[in-house]
Amino acid sequence: MIKPFGSDTLNTLYVDNNAKREALLKDAAVRPSIVLSSAAAGNAVMLACGYFNPLTGYMNIADAKSVAEKMQTTSGLFWPTPVVNMIKDASAIKGAKRIALKDPNVDGNPVIAIQDVEAIEEMSADDLKLITEKVYGTTDMEHPGVAAFNSAGNIVVSGPIQVLSYSYFKEDFPGTFRTAQEIRDMIAKNGWNEVAAFQTRNPMHRAHEALVKMAMKEFNADGAVIHMLLGKLKPGDIPADVRDSCIRKMVELYFEPNTAEVTGYGFDMLYAGPREAVLHALFRQNMGATILIVGRDHAGVGDYYGGFDAQKIFDDVPAGAMEIKIFKGDHTVWCNKCNNIVMMRDCPHGKDDYVMLSGTKVRAKLAAGEDLPKEFARPEVAKILMDYYKNEAAKG
């Protein structure tokens, strides 16, 4: 099986020994504490699961800047996006060497992790702007990732963590949420060697289905892991439970048995386009995938990135930095003349022959109670989406 990124074995930061975890929870109860931002809580979950191997905690300002500018830490580790714990007020933890980190996404803000504090630093406005520009390619506060990053605070608390909870993900998505190690175990159990990973924050339509199958065919893959984001999205995106139902129905009906697994991970979407695509590749290697499918506008939002910027950035990744391979997909559509889903670059026909719907048009059709074209969506998937939109409309 493919090695984890940056180490020979996977480093998961969740404390799975019950006695040790209970002791740490008792210790946390008497420690100074802060409530994390949702982004920092997501970082803790990803560290707990081994997706962010080989990191051991939150970066300091020097590492965050180095990652933003050079895609590597100050020690030379290749890494595409800062993994930070940023807060607005550090008065409650001033002088503390160990602190409790509380979960902002669970009622009552229970402790999610305990952190050994290496530094508490104030990030300057110039540094915040630099990191934002380098990672997101814009400082526009209309960009949801930029807004989230810049609203978390300018005080950076760095140091290693021990994670005591998977937040709400294990309880809310028991059949879908999986750690990197659990996915590695699943791949081994299935006997898969070549494994394609498909990232999604949306329900899968026929173009997505075809893209997965094309990648599997090109690399002669044994299986595919459809890996959905379960954390926070921007307003208007489809909720995780609805996406989960859609994807499971598609896999059940339209993939060969034992060739696809539906899983998910606990992280808030960054919408960082190219940089987030590299992060996706890195943590998919950690979970045992050998191929990442990168389609058009991967991890993008609005018009902030070019359609294929998330593919081009891999040309700048240093040779040998990652072992995972990249399948670069073109815009995938239904062609009436081919009578099939095609990638535009491989099709001799033109736009007049294609069935093309933007996400905005799809949502408008669903909101109006209109059927989606069979060329665009599998009918069983479309029904789940239509039922969701009808229920939302009924709520007023």
Catalytic positions: 201-202
**3-state class (DSSP) for residue 324:** coil
- Distance, in Å, from the CA atom of 237 to the CA atom of 233, rounded to the nearest integer, reads 6
Distance CA 368, CA 378 (A): 18
Of the candidates 275, 281, 284, the residue with the CA atom closest to the CA atom of residue 131: 275
3-class SS of residue 294: strand
Is the peptide bond preceding residue 54 cis, with omega within 30 degrees of 0?
Answer: yes
Q: Give counts: helices (H), strands (E), the chain.
A: 13, 15
Residue given tokens 């100074």 in the structure block: 32
- 8 A C-beta contact, residue 287 and residue 186: no
Q: Which tokens in the block code for residue 37?
A: 């931002």
Q: How many residues does the chain have?
A: 396
> Within a 10 A sphere around the Cβ of 321, how many other Cβ atoms?
17
Fill in the amino acid letter for 85: N
